[in-house]
Amino acid sequence: MNRADPTDATTLMITTVRPDAVMVHGEGSWLVDDRGRRYLDFVQGWAVNALGHAPAEIARALAEQSARLLTPSPAFHNAPQLALADRLTRAAGLERVFFCSTGAEANEGAIKLARKWGRLHRGGAHRIVTTEGAFHGRTLATMAASGKPGWDDLFPPVVPGFVRVPFGDLEATADAIDDDTVAVMLEPIQGEGGVVVPPAGTLRALRELTRERGVLLILDEVQTGMGRTGELFAHQHEDAQPDILTLGKGLGGGVPLAAMLASEAVSCFDVGDQGGTFAGNPLMCAVGLAVVERLTEPDFLAGVRRRAEHLHTGLAALAKRRGCLELRGQGMLLALRLPRESAREVAAAGLRHGLLINAPRTDTLRFMPALTVSVEEIDEMLRRLDAAFEEAL
Ligand X SMILES: *Cc1c(COP(=O)(O)O)cnc(C)c1O
Binding site for ligand X (CB under 6 A): 102-104, 107, 135-137, 187, 191-192, 220, 222-223, 248-249
E strand or H helix at 289: helix 282-295
Least separation in angstroms between CB 223 and ligand X: 3
282, 65 in Cβ contact below 8 A? yes
Least separation in angstroms between CB 189 and ligand X: 9
3-state helix, strand and coil shares in percent for the chain, rounded to the nearest 5: 40, 20, 45
Q: State the catalytic residue, choosing from 41, 220, 243, 363.
A: 220
Q: State the catalytic residue, choosing from 42, 116, 249, 363.
A: 249
Where are any strands of DSSP class E within 243-288? 244-247, 258-262
164, 144 in Cβ contact below 8 A? no
If the CB atoms of residues 367 and 389 are measured against ligand X, the closer one turns out to be 367
Supply the angle between the helices 282-295 and 56-68 in degrees, to the nearest 10. Answer: 150
If the CB atoms of residues 137 and 161 are measured against ligand X, the closer one turns out to be 137
291, 51 in Cβ contact below 8 A? yes
103, 278 in Cβ contact below 8 A? no
Least separation in angstroms between CB 382 and ligand X: 25
Least separation in angstroms between CB 312 and ligand X: 21
If the CB atoms of residues 99 and 135 are measured against ligand X, the closer one turns out to be 135
Phi-psi region of 239 (alpha: psi -120 to 50; beta: other; left: phi over 0): left
If the CB atoms of residues 103 and 354 are measured against ligand X, the closer one turns out to be 103
If the CB atoms of residues 133 and 191 are measured against ligand X, the closer one turns out to be 191
If the CB atoms of residues 234 and 388 are measured against ligand X, the closer one turns out to be 234
Q: How far apart are the C-alpha atoms of 272 and 262, rounded to whole Å?
A: 18
Q: Is 135 a catalytic residue?
A: yes
DSSP annotation string for 340-392 = SS-HHHHHHHHHHTTEE-EEEETTEEEE---TT--HHHHHHHHHHHHHHHHHH
Least separation in angstroms between CB 191 and ligand X: 4
**Residue nearest ligand X, CB atom distance:** 103
Q: How far apart are the C-alpha atoms of 120 and 58, rounded to whole Å?
A: 41
Q: Which residues contact 83 (CB under 8 A, 6 or more apart)?
A: 285, 289
Least separation in angstroms between CB 245 and ligand X: 12
Q: Is 169 a catalytic residue?
A: no
Beta bridge partners of 336: 327, 365
State the Rg of the chain over Cα. 21
If the CB atoms of residues 41 and 187 are measured against ligand X, the closer one turns out to be 187
Fill in the DSSP letter of residue 217: E
Q: State the catalytic residue, choosing from 42, 99, 135, 389.
A: 135
Least separation in angstroms between CB 187 and ligand X: 5
- Residue from 329, 313, 336, 84 nearest 223 by CA: 329
Type of residue found at 315? L
Least separation in angstroms between CB 270 and ligand X: 25
Q: Is 86 a catalytic residue?
A: no
Q: How far apart are the C-alpha atoms of 226 and 106, rounded to whole Å?
A: 15
CA 284: distance to chain centroid?
Answer: 17
If the CB atoms of residues 80 and 191 are measured against ligand X, the closer one turns out to be 191
Active-site positions read 135, 220, 249
